[in-house]
Amino acid sequence: MIGVHTVEEIRAAEDALMARLPDGALMQRAVAGLVTVCAGLLDGVYGARVVVLAGAGNNGGDALWAGARLARRGAHADAVLLNPDKAHAEGLAAFRAAGGRLVDLGAAAGALAAADLVLDGILGIGGRGGLRGDAAELAALLRAGRTAGAVVAVDLSSGVDPDTGETPGEHVVADHTVTFGTGKTALVVDPAATVAGVVHHVDIGLGPYLPSPELTVLDDADVATLLPDPGRESDKYSRGVVGVLAGSAQFPGAAVLAVGGALHGGAGMVRYAGPDAVAVEVRQRWPEAIAGPSPDVVGRVQAWTVGSGLGDGREDDVRAALGAGLPVLVDADGLRGLPERFAGPALLTPHAGELARLLGVERAEVEARRLHHARAAATRWNAVVLLKGSTTVVAAPDGRVRVNPTGTSALAAAGTGDVLAGLAGSLLAGGLSPLDAGSVAAYAHGLAGQRAAAGSGYPSAADVLAALPGVLRSLRGVVGAGAVHPLTAE
Ligand SMILES: NC(=O)C1=CN([C@@H]2O[C@H](COP(=O)(O)OP(=O)(O)OC[C@H]3O[C@@H](n4cnc5c(N)ncnc54)[C@H](OP(=O)(O)O)[C@@H]3O)[C@@H](O)[C@H]2O)[C@@H](O)CC1
Ligand SMILES: Nc1ncnc2c1ncn2[C@@H]1O[C@H](COP(=O)(O)OP(=O)(O)O)[C@@H](O)[C@H]1O
Ligand SMILES: [K+]
C-alpha cells in the first residue's frame, strides 16, 4: 500500500526528523535518490547535457545539488535560476564549485533544446497556484516538447497542486518524477498525475513521523487480503447472494455484463431482476443466474447492484431495492433515484458526467477537481463514491480515500462500467464494506482492462469480463480456499 500525505503532514514529519539530524542531511538523502534515478536515465553521466531549472525554495536546492553531483561525474550542467536573488545558497555554491554554469533566461531555450536531461526544480510542495512569469514560459517550452531530454520533476511537477491533484494553471509536464518521503495526491489523482510521468519513490526516513494516511493506493497484496475467501464450510448462500437490477429492452447488454461481473466477484449466487425479454438474454449467456421480474419477488439477497442500463420507468423497482435495508451499489440510471441520504452501506459509481448532474456542476469542473467532488458527494449522500474515469477515486464519508492505480484508457469502452458494477456488487454481497468493495473491484477491473488490451488491442467490455477470472485467480494466488486441499492433492 502506498500512503499519500498532505503538505502539512509532510512538513511536520520533516521538522521532527530534521531536529534529530545534522543540518542539510535530509536534503542530501533526497538528492542522493534523485541523482541515482537521473544517472539511470542517462546513457552515461559523463558528457551528458543536464539543465537545472531552479526556483527560490528547497526544491530548487535539491535540483542544484543534484546538478552539482552530476557535474562532478562529468556532466555538462547548466542552471537557469528563476529567482537569482533567492536561490538556495548552499545548492548554488555546490553547483558552481562543481563546474556548473549559470544560463540566463535568454539562453534557456537553446540549452533546453540541446539537453539530455532537464531537472525541474522550480517548485515542490511549497508551490501554490499555477506557474507565473518566466517559470510559466519555461514550462510551456517543455510542454511543447522543445527539449530532446527526459524531463525529471523533483518531488512534483512544478505548478500542480500537491494536495488536490488539480492543475490550476501552467505546469511542467514531466517524463519522470522523483518524489521524497511519501506519496502526494498530485502524483496519483488526475489531472496532475498524468503530468508526473513515471514516479520514483525515495525513502528519506520520514515514515515513523508520518500519521496514518487518509488517502491510500492499494497494491496486489492488499487486494489479495481483502478478497473474500470462501471457507470449507461455505455454501452458495453463506458466500452472499447479489441481486442485479439492471438492463432494459433498450440496453439488454448492460444486464448481461453486470450479471457476468457479479458471477465472477465471489458471490455464491446472482439473482437478476428485470423484464422477461431481458432475463431470457441473461440466462442464455449465464444459465447459472436466477431471474425474476422485480426485486420484491426475485428472492432474498445480501446486496443489490442497481441501475446499469436500467432506462426510465423502473423507479418503483429502484425504490424497492434501495429501501430493502441492504448494502447497495447504485450505478448509472439508478443514480437518478437517490434518497436524501443513505442510512446503510452504499456505494455510488458515477462517471464524471453523472456526478456533475448529481452535484449541479459542469462535467469539466468534476474532471478538474476529481477528489474534491468525490469527497463532496460522499459527504452529501453519506455513501462511498467511486468516481470513474482516468483515475478512479473511491471516497468514503469518513474522509478515507482510495485511488485506483490499475486503470487504463482501454477501459473507456461502452459496457465496462456495467461489468464493474456487477463485480463490486458481488463483493458487497460477500461482506466487503463499500470502500473495500469499490476499491477492490476497481483494482481487479483495471487489471482486467490491461490484460484484455494485451490480448486484443482494443478490448470490448466482453473482453474485459473474460479477462476477470484470470486476474482474480492471479490476485488470490495459490493460498486460500481456491487451493487444492493437501490431503486430496494428487
Ligand atoms: N524540508 C526539507 O528538509 C526537505 C525538503 N525537500 C524539498 O523541498 C521542497 C519544498 O521546499 P520549500 O518549502 O522551500 O518550497 P518550494 O516548493 O521549493 O517552493 C517555495 C518557493 O516557491 C515560491 N512559490 C510558491 N508558489 C509559487 C508560484 N505559483 N509561482 C512562483 N513561485 C511560487 C515561494 O515564494 P513565496 O510565495 O513564499 O513568496 C517560495 O519561494 C520539497 O518539495 C522537496 O523538493 C527535500 O529536499 C527533502 C528535505
Ligand atoms: N481514460 C480512462 N482511463 C481509465 N479508465 C477509464 C477511462 N475512461 C473510462 N474508464 C473506465 O471505464 C469504465 C467506464 O464506465 P462507464 O462510464 O460507466 O461506461 P458504461 O456505462 O458504458 O459501462 C469505468 O470503469 C471507468 O473508470
Ligand atoms: K518540481
For residue range 413-457, what is the model confidence (pLDDT) as tens digits? Answer: 999 999 999 999 999 999 999 999 999 999 999 999 999 999 988
ipTM: 0.92
Res. 490: pLDDT tops 70: no
Read off the C-alpha cell for 424.
463490486
161 Cβ below 6 A of ligand 1: no
Helix (H, G, I), strand (E, B) or coil at 267: coil
**Which residue type, as a one-letter code, is found at position 177?**
T
147 and 177 in contact (C-beta within 8 Å)?
no
pLDDT level of residue 233 (50, 70, 90 thresholds): confident
Each as own residue / partner, the long-range contacts of residues 137-145 (CB below 8 Å, 24 or more positions apart, any chain) are 138/53, 138/80, 138/82, 138/108, 138/112, 139/170, 139/171, 139/172, 139/173, 140/170, 141/108, 141/109, 141/112, 142/112, 142/118, 142/172, 142/173, 143/172, 143/173
Res. 488: pLDDT tops 50: no
Query: In the chain, pLDDT over 90 holds for what percent of residues?
Result: 93
pLDDT of res. 481: 38
pLDDT of res. 479: 45
Output b/e per residue, 145-156; b: 16+ Cβ within 10 A. Answer: eebebbbbbbbb
Residues of each annotated binding site:
58-62, 120, 124-130, 155, 158, 254, 309, 351, 388-392, 417-418
Query: What is the distance between the alpha carbons of residues 311 and 332, in angstroms, rounded to a whole number?
Result: 9
CA of 350 to the centre of ligand 2 (A): 10
What 8-state DSSP symbol labels residue 375? H
pLDDT of res. 480: 45
CA of 408 to the centre of ligand 2 (A): 9
pLDDT of res. 489: 33
For residue range 258-287, what is the model confidence (pLDDT) as tens digits? Answer: 999 999 999 999 999 999 999 999 999 999
> Which one is the CATH code of 2-215: 3.30.70.60, 3.40.50.10260, 3.40.50.300, 3.30.70.890?
3.40.50.10260
Res. 478: pLDDT tops 60: no
Please tell me the least confidently modeled range out of 145-154, 174-183, 387-396. Answer: 145-154
Res. 247: pLDDT tops 90: yes
Distances (CA, A) of 305 to 85, 225, 327, 339, 340: 60, 23, 9, 16, 19
Best residue among 416, 447, 458 to mutate for probing ligand 2, ranked by most atoms within 8 Å of CB: 416
pLDDT level of residue 483 (50, 70, 90 thresholds): very low
Query: What is the distance between the alpha carbons of residues 123 and 465, in angstroms, rounded to a whole number?
Result: 43
165 Cβ below 6 A of ligand 1: no
pLDDT of res. 237: 84
pLDDT of res. 232: 83
129 Cβ below 6 A of ligand 1: yes
**What atom in ligand 1 is closest to the CA of residue 129?**
29
CA of 158 to the centre of ligand 1 (A): 10
Which residues, judged by CB distance below 6 Å to any ligand atom, belong to the binding site of ligand 2?
332, 351, 388-390, 392, 407-409, 411-412, 414-418, 420, 445
> In the beta sheet, which residues pair with residue 478?
none
pLDDT of res. 231: 83
Mark the residues whose beta carbon lies below 5 A from ion ligand 3: 120, 153-154, 158
Query: What is the distance between the alpha carbons of residues 171 and 390, in angstroms, rounded to a whole number?
Result: 19
Mean pLDDT (the chain) is 95
Residue closest to 473 by CA, chosen among 461, 462, 463, 481: 481
Q: Where are the domains of the chain?
A: 2-215, 220-476
Query: In the chain, pLDDT over 70 holds for what percent of residues?
Result: 97
**What atom in ligand 1 is closest to the CA of residue 122?**
18
Query: What is the distance between the alpha carbons of residues 159 and 163, in angstroms, rounded to a whole number?
Result: 12
CA of 416 to the centre of ligand 2 (A): 6
| Sheet order of strands, 2-4 included | 2-4, 215-217, 401-403, 393-395, 384-387, 346-349, 328-331, 303-306, 241-245, 269-273, 290-292
For residue range 157-210, what is the model confidence (pLDDT) as tens digits? Answer: 999 999 999 999 999 999 999 999 999 999 999 999 999 999 999 999 999 999
For residue range 305-362, what is the model confidence (pLDDT) as tens digits? Answer: 999 999 999 999 999 999 999 999 999 999 999 999 999 999 999 999 999 999 999 9
Instruction: Specify the CATH architecture of the domain 220-476.
Output: 3-Layer(aba) Sandwich (3.40)
